[in-house]
Structure 1
Amino acid sequence: MSTSARWDHPRTSFYTDHYELTMLQASLHSGAAHRKSVFEAFARRLPDGRRYGIVAGTGRLLEGIANFRFGDSELEFLQRTGVVNQDTLDYLAGYRFSGDIWGYAEGEAYFPHSPILIVEATFAEACILETYLLSVLNHDSAIASAASRMISAAGNRPCIEMGSRRTHEEAAPAAARAAYIAGFDSTSNLEAGFRYGIRTVGTAAHSFTLLHDTERDAFEAQVASLGAGTSLLVDTYDVETAVRAAVDLAGPKLGAVRLDSGDLVAQAQWVRQLLDDLGNVNTKIVVTSDLDEFAIAALQSAPVDSYGVGTSLVTGSGAPTASMVYKLVSRTDGAGTFVSVAKSAKNKASMGGRKYALRRLNEHGIAGEEIVGIGHRPEDDGNDRPLLQQFMKNGELLPGWTGHEGVLRARQRHADSMAELPPVVNRLQRGEPAIPTTYEEN
């Protein structure tokens, strides 16, 4: 049984805004609701100083669109509160998304104006997905983008996602999923493990030590119950005393010690020396305590084996949203012919027309440019990579993009994309996007 089959995806139709349904009602009245339309999700810019972003949330979103229904309870609420009229209620009662969805594969790097998701359907079907679609993509992509920078800073050292207590309870498994896609090794969140098959880890907090009469009593209980390979938290009182007690109780098979406070660089160095002097050369050091990509980079010279990251990760490390928007870029006119449409307001302009995208690679397979064709597919010069993948066809999910399989596929896509980008993406200093986005028109 697949991981995604073990839990029931909730109905998602009310993860939306009131005005989606009033637009629907008015367009049903005008007769334009059933015009074929093309909507596009994209980000006008990256967070200030960032060089790239990572797409995440696509698999969750597709599962949600497949469950985008208006049942009796939702329809009763809309009728009782007068949100929409009876004609609109009748339409919503039979709502099923029947269009096509294309986009960048989950885990893919994106840049300003990359056509991250393209929805082709009637205006009525596509319009009411806006809020749900953006809430998923903006949140998950922000987390994945921050996680990717942390993974880059960590090098070969694994990172553990442990931010559940710093975010909304439903956002927590989504954040763990996004972090895993971007390269995190594991999560502390059991719901993420249950839904997505991510490895879960965890041992004990300071409260466990404080519960016992002595620190040694706490360590003895943990080792007896969980085995010598457990990780012991050694900074509740005096770190040196704790490390010596941990080694005395668990011996050379002690799995790890965790440091959660103080000057982590200096502390890790002398704890490593102490462990080695005591014969525990294989005992690892795990560090936590408000880490972000910059703190992780500062720890590169320290003898640290893994990082536990919480608050900064689940808040996007200062960029809690990817600032994506969802715009109508093409629709049919009264004669059934597609015409390009675009918002032209100052500072919020969009580019009309159905988009196609590829990543231009050099002879060494390194990306140098994002090419976005408007109304046509850009020409591949022989080694370029098309970016748009089809996720749904005629309202049906195509295989491989959702569930545990989708998560693993996205994780691999992230690793492959990062290897393809120029080395500048590994710099944490503020800078321009790693590669430019170029439009090609017919």
Structure 2
Amino acid sequence: MAQRSEAWEKRFIYATFDEIKAGLTTDIYFVRTRRILEKYGLLDAEVHMEVTASRLPEDYRWGVFAGLREVLKLLEGKRVTVRALPEGTLFKAQDYYGYKIPVLTVEGPYGEFVELETPLLGFLASASGIATKAARVKKAAGDKLVLSFGARRQHPALAPFVEFYAYIGGADAVSAVLGAEALGIKPTGTMPHSLLIIFRAFKGDHSLGWKAFDEVIEKDVARVALADTFFDETEEVVLAAKTLGEKLWGVRLDTPGSRRGNFEDIIREVRWRLDTLGYKHVKIVVSGGIDEYRIPSLARAGADAFGVGAAISTAPPIDFAMDITAVKREGRWVPISKRGKLPGKKQVYRCDKCMVDVVVLEGSEPPVCPKCGAQMEPLLETFIEDGRPTKRVESPQEVRARVLEQLSRLEEI
């Protein structure tokens, strides 16, 4: 058994940027493959590899393609050509006729990226899983706010990654400081129960915690009072409203499931009491075990915003696979693949009106939409050509806008 380096005793268990770029997070069989190909002079064998979704998680009819930003940084400086769907494109595992849809292709000498298949798939699987779940949650919430609160449900090294792709998928705001920094936005959050418990224990009144928040925190931060710490939710909400008055933007209900009863009834009662006392401007934020399945009934009950944690940050990954579908011999590309995969270089076409995709061999005549007969447009774009970047990486705001526009054209989750 290999001995563990002493360096691991002094660090958290995670891989650094340089370690990932160097292929150190790969599966061992790729390291062994490099040694074999090197011995037989085949490291420069040119291959065309495509990434397809083996399947989507149960109940999912579509996914959000995400993680392209990471893949481009992973392959930066390599002698490869990369084509892909634009980041934030909604996709299905199969096209209209049942053929698997390539979401990304890598072409070049195999030795340039043999060890990078593992991290490449990991980036896409995780980012697409998080973005897809966030999009499903946002679709369920409609015009109500979705706040990503999931940093504590993942490895802390992944907090910026989780928040970045939650936002891309449709979350309106994120709570983790470093995640917000990566996005170029301000972090959003309320207050913990510990703040109110400490004020009650040492100052005799937890409502002083709300006042302290208002006195200390910047004025451009919304005043949202956590209102379920000691009393009945309705009584705490009324107390918070009377304490902060017009300054109060909202109240957050994070009642433990063991004390919650019917959460919808609690929300309805809170809304009614606030309205009756003249606090119609106060929003109701709910958190704790929220996902796309819970949101519709909570929204109908009167919830205005949803703090979503584990549902997004621990979202099921998209099961992507990467396979050789062509090799270059004597100056020309020759289709070849393993059983169960379709050989050849391909392009994906979409009817923007019908959101229908069709996969064809590269060089074929552009197809027409099998539903409406309209001319279809190619989806796969070139992002790296022979090692040179050909397209800029879009901002997270631009990608998020693309996701939201596509979601607006879907009738349901």
Smaller-chain TM-score range? 0.7 to 0.9
- TM-superposed CA distance for 1:23, in Å, is 1.0
- TM-superposed CA distance for 1:377, in Å, is 4.2
Is residue 2:9 matched to residue 1:22? no
Cα distance change on mapping 1:279 and 1:167 into 2, 3 Å: same
- Is the 1:39–1:126 Cα contact (8 Å) retained in structure 2? no
Structure-1 separation of matches of 2:152 and 2:123: 20
Residue number in structure 2 paired with 1:42: 52
Mean CA deviation greater in 29-38 or 390-399: 390-399
Structure-2 separation of matches of 1:28 and 1:217: 70
- TM-superposed CA distance for 1:308, in Å, is 0.5
Give the letter for the 1:188 counterpart. Answer: S
Q: SS at 1:415's partner residue?
A: helix
Q: SS at 2:400's partner residue?
A: helix
Structure-1 separation of matches of 2:177 and 2:160: 8
Structure-2 separation of matches of 1:161 and 1:53: 19
After superposition, give the CA deviation of every residue in 1:327-369 in whole Å (9 maximum; x if it has no partner). Answer: 1111123x3432222121xxxx2111111001134xxx222x3
After superposition, give the CA deviation of every residue in 1:247-277 in whole Å (9 maximum; x if it has no partner). Answer: 2221123111000122331111111111122
Q: SS at 2:58's partner residue?
A: coil
Residue number in structure 1 paired with 2:275: 276
- TM-superposed CA distance for 1:378, in Å, is 4.8
Residue number in structure 2 paired with 1:254: 248
Residue number in structure 2 paired with 1:321: 317
Structure-2 separation of matches of 1:167 and 1:102: 31
Residue number in structure 2 paired with 1:356: 347
After superposition, give the CA deviation of every residue in 1:257-311 in whole Å (9 maximum; x if it has no partner). Answer: 0001223311111111111222211111101011111011222312111100001
After superposition, give the CA deviation of every residue in 1:368-398 in whole Å (9 maximum; x if it has no partner). Answer: x311112334515454232111111221233
Q: How does 1:204-223 map to 2 (within 5 A)?
A: 204-213=191-200, 214-223=205-214
- TM-superposed CA distance for 1:192, in Å, is 1.1
Structure-2 separation of matches of 1:248 and 1:259: 17
Residue number in structure 1 paired with 2:301: 302
Counterpart selection for 1:396 from 388, 391, 406: 388
Cα distance change on mapping 1:199 and 1:18 into 2, 3 Å: same
- Is the 2:234–2:266 Cα contact (8 Å) retained in structure 1? no
Give the letter for the 1:237 counterpart. Answer: F
Residue number in structure 2 paired with 1:131: 118
Q: SS at 1:173's partner residue?
A: helix
Cα distance change on mapping 1:336 and 1:259 into 2, 3 Å: same
Q: SS at 1:140's partner residue?
A: helix
Counterpart selection for 2:167 from 180, 192, 204: 180
Structure-2 separation of matches of 1:392 and 1:170: 28
Residue number in structure 1 paired with 2:263: 264
Percent identical among aligned pairs is: 28
Q: SS at 2:359's partner residue?
A: strand
Tell me the number of residue pairs that the alignment of Structure 1 and Structure 2 aligns: 372
Residue number in structure 2 paired with 1:165: 152
TM-score, normalised with respect to structure 2:
0.85
Structure-2 separation of matches of 1:377 and 1:97: 29
Give the letter for the 1:58 counterpart. Answer: L
Cα distance change on mapping 1:229 and 1:162 into 2, 3 Å: closer
After superposition, give the CA deviation of every residue in 1:397-421 in whole Å (9 maximum; x if it has no partner). Answer: 33432xxx43222112212333455
Structure 2 runs not aligned, ≥5 long: 1-15, 94-99, 369-373
Q: SS at 2:113's partner residue?
A: helix
Counterpart selection for 2:332 from 321, 330, 337: 337
Structure-2 separation of matches of 1:408 and 1:328: 34
Cα distance change on mapping 1:168 and 1:175 into 2, 3 Å: same
Residue number in structure 2 paired with 1:433: none
Cα distance change on mapping 1:225 and 1:277 into 2, 3 Å: farther
Root-mean-square deviation (Å): 1.9
Q: SS at 1:121's partner residue?
A: strand
Cα distance change on mapping 1:10 and 1:187 into 2, 3 Å: same
Q: SS at 1:299's partner residue?
A: helix
Residue number in structure 2 paired with 1:406: 395
- TM-superposed CA distance for 1:169, in Å, is 1.4
Cα distance change on mapping 1:309 and 1:411 into 2, 3 Å: same
Mean CA deviation greater in 104-113 or 389-398: 389-398
Residue number in structure 2 paired with 1:90: none
Counterpart selection for 2:81 from 100, 116, 126: 100
After superposition, give the CA deviation of every residue in 1:166-207 in whole Å (9 maximum; x if it has no partner). Answer: 011122211211111111101001111122214410121111
After superposition, give the CA deviation of every residue in 1:77-136 in whole Å (9 maximum; x if it has no partner). Answer: xxxxxxxxxxxxxxxxxxx40211000111101111221110011111132220110010
TM-score, normalised with respect to structure 1:
0.80
Cα distance change on mapping 1:229 and 1:414 into 2, 3 Å: closer
Q: SS at 1:392's partner residue?
A: strand
Counterpart selection for 2:379 from 380, 383, 387: 387
Residue number in structure 1 paired with 2:177: 190
After superposition, give the CA deviation of every residue in 1:38-71 in whole Å (9 maximum; x if it has no partner). Answer: 11111122222211111011112212332xxxxx
- Is the 1:285–1:304 Cα contact (8 Å) retained in structure 2? yes
- Is the 2:366–2:375 Cα contact (8 Å) retained in structure 1? no
Structure 1 runs not aligned, ≥5 long: 1-8, 67-95, 428-442
